[in-house]
Amino acid sequence: MTSSNPHPKHSRNIRREDSLVSDEERQQIFRQRGVTIWLTGFSGSGKSTIAKALERHLVSSGHYCYILDGDNIRHGLNRDLGFTADDRKENIRRIAEVARLFNAAGMIAITAFISPYRSDRDMAREIVGAENFLEVHVSTPLEICEQRDPKNLYKKARAGEIQHFTGISDPYEEPQDPALRLDTSMLEVERSVTIIFDLLQSRGVFGDRS
Name the DSSP letter for residue 18.
Answer: P
Q: Which of 164, 179, 189, 203 binds ligand ADX (CB under 6 A)?
A: 164
Q: How far is the CB of 68 from ligand ADX (least distance, A)?
A: 10
In the bound state with ligand ADX, the residue whose beta carbon lies nearer, of 153 and 196, is 153
Q: Which of 114, 128, 134, 180 binds ligand ADX (CB under 6 A)?
A: 114
Q: Is 70 in the site for ligand ADX (CB under 6 A)?
A: yes
Q: Is 165 in the site for ligand ADX (CB under 6 A)?
A: yes
Of the candidate spans 6-14, 49-57, 108-116, 140-148, the one that interacts with ligand ADX by CB under 6 A turns out to be: 108-116
Query: Among the options 45, 115, 139, 192, which is catalytic?
Result: 115
As to burial, measured by CB atoms within 10 angstroms (0-12 exposed, 13-18 middle, 19+ buried), residue 35 is buried
Q: How far apart (Å, rounded) are the C-alpha atoms in residues 209 and 28?
A: 11
Q: Is 172 in the site for ligand ADX (CB under 6 A)?
A: no
Of the candidate spans 7-15, 109-117, 124-132, 179-187, the one that interacts with ligand ADX by CB under 6 A turns out to be: 109-117
Q: How far apart (Å, rounded) are the C-alpha atoms in residues 33 and 108?
A: 7
* SS3 category, 70: helix
- β-pair partners for 2: none
The HSE-up count of residue 202 (CA atoms within 13 Å, CB side) is: 9
Provide the Cα torsion 88, 128, 32, 55; round to 10°.
Answer: 0
Is 115 an active-site residue?
yes
Q: How far is the CB of 145 from ligand ADX (least distance, A)?
A: 10
Strands 133-138 and 36-40: parallel
Positions marked catalytic: 115
Residues engaged in binding ligand ADX (CB under 6 A): 43, 70-71, 74, 83, 88, 91, 113-116, 151, 153, 162, 164-166, 170
